[in-house]
Structure 1
Amino acid sequence: MNRRRFLGAGLASLGAACALPAVRTAPAPPRVALADVRRLVVERAEPIAGRCRYVADLGARQVPQPILFARRGESFDGVIENALPQPTTVHFHGLTLPEAADGAGFDPIEPGARKRMRFEVKNRSGLYWFHPHPHGFTAEQVYAGLTGLLVVTDEDDDALDAALALAPGNRLALAIAEARVVGGAMRPYAPTAEDCLHGWLGNRALVNGQLDASWIVRPGWVRLQILNACNARGLLVAFRDGETLVPFHLLGTDGGLLAAPRELERVFLYTGERVDIG
């Protein structure tokens, strides 16, 4: 039995009774094919609070804060435009890329400047992400909202979705971050000496850039691909029904899908780590 059939058989045997509980609704971030992006603009959306965002220019339309999707083997050939008052980069975290396309901070894009980026997606299916990595500004810009999700798919991923028989809307890619909220407003990044020592921690959770985010899902399996996008906080992910922990299944990690699912009651995620659960 090959890996895809083994994974599908293992999931099918677990049964739909262990699906994650439904939650309320929230607007879904727009899905955009990575290959369709001609220009990725990095801009400040709220100057007072310092909030920033990515905008994907598709030629005919512009999409703010998209979730990017790519098939393994597809290519990106586009322009990164920096509309911030600070230098920035776009680092595709987890992808195997040449140094010229890595965006790791060695070649920052100055304010008002552009940089062409070309690469092929060679990695296995899984959740990847993109974020700024300029020296001295990374923490501030990530906190400000510059967290983008990239979902890579392939034949293994197709087999998993088929085994789960996912209903429309029951697969979600989620970036969990945090913000300091005072008087109903998000505070800009302004670390004290203590924050620099221990890390900038918030008091409210953000999911895909939204406070109090929630979704409606249909009965059956739910597949969640989760990124810890917090600046310094580790996350212990679990699901509860009252005081009872609800088991779930670990399907994949940063390195892609597992050979077979593992039943868990909780999973720890540190900053930048991802899990695929159902």
Structure 2
Amino acid sequence: KMMQEKLDSTAMIVDCEMLMDRFYLPRRNRYGGRVVWMPEVGFDIAKEAVEDRMKIQGLEAKHANTSPVGRGVQLRALHNIWDDMSPEEVKEDLLQYIQNIRDGNVEKTDLFARARLGKFLPTKKILFKVGKQIELPLLDESGKKQYKSTVVDGKIKKELITFPVDVAGTHYGEGATNPNASMNPDDDNAAYVILDGVQRGAAWYNIVLAKETKLDKGDSFYTTFVKDGPTWIPAGGYVSFSEPEDIEGYEIDVEKIIEKHVVGKLDHIMYGIGLSLDDLRPIRKKLTVADFFE
């Protein structure tokens, strides 16, 4: 009606999906807005909690696999920006949020993200096919390389003795649940060919922690980073598990969680206020020769 009156014509019909009183667009197709009106409920929606009437697009806070602390830091940043805080004030508030995580003032489960297996975990056979092996020299007890002598065209030739080492992680194949897992992506038994952190963590769980039920295609589970524990852990510290109690004996890598799941989720938001992720990272002291002597 407003547009019809302005244009003095009933030919113009505007269908409003929603109204927002605050809107933040740091980059194209990445935004967050605070809804105050929707056609179904009118302005009554403004009485709801802000978290229940936010329109978010292209930011990780919308993703189901974002950890609670990762989602929380993004929502906090948006709140601060909507409240007209200066970039420096936003930064200081986010640094306090991060420090609370570092000090252990959050629930442990809020550090965990969620993930899901969309395919089967690969068998050792699959990983061996796509894997890589390198040849390393065989050393004797004193650490010296060993050689063998062969006769070539009547001449004695020394050859370095080597042995193959798997660098593709074929041992993760022990965590497979489907012996018929296939490399064919169109097969009903399609399996992952390359394992990222989540899938390595799931395979690790099946190998190390699972007692009866193993993680399988279609399963959802927790995932996080650890840095020590009673067993071997995957490279990079990425572990997956069914229940928080499964990893009680492992030391959570809080700093890596902060970097990956908190600071790393703020790139677009920080960019929009003229700051970078480095503004949220600890300042590394540059050591000089004098620092090593009293």
TM-score by length of 1: 0.24
Larger radius of gyration: 2
More helix by share: 2
TM-score by length of 2: 0.23
More strand by share: 1
Structure of higher RCO (CA pairs closer than 8 Å, 6+ residues apart): 1
